[in-house]
Amino acid sequence: MTWVDRSSFHNGALAVADQTCDDRSVHATLTLRTGSGAVRRLSDNRNTDGCGTTADSHNIAATDTSGIRSLTLTLCRSAPGTPDECETGYIAANPYYGS
């Protein structure tokens, strides 16, 4: 993705690949934190096609008049009847937002 200014980004892409081949689906969720402190779910990309497959999302973009402080990626694995196993491993701070 490309940060445009304090309030927006565009050209986002997200690929979710099933490389563990463990009969669990995978999904990635993008959330953004706005200048007002709100957290908005932006995209939820699911891959339920199984081992060795990839699900792609393109043209992800967002604008918020209060600004966008950061974008967070959470990855989860799920199986029926069990809780999701999730981790948040990537947070991108907007370099135009300031502190």
Domains of the chain, by residue range, sit at 2-93
Tokens at 88, concatenated: 């948040």
Q: Are 1 and 57 in contact (CB under 8 A)?
A: no
Q: Is CATH 2.60.40 what the domain over 2-93 is classified as, yes or no? A: yes
| pLDDT value of position 90 | 92
Q: Global pTM?
A: 0.83
- pLDDT digits over 4-46, tens only? 999 999 999 999 999 988 888 899 999 999 999 999 998 888 8
- pLDDT digits over 58-92, tens only? 999 999 999 999 999 999 998 888 888 999 989 99
Place of tokens 């135009």: 96
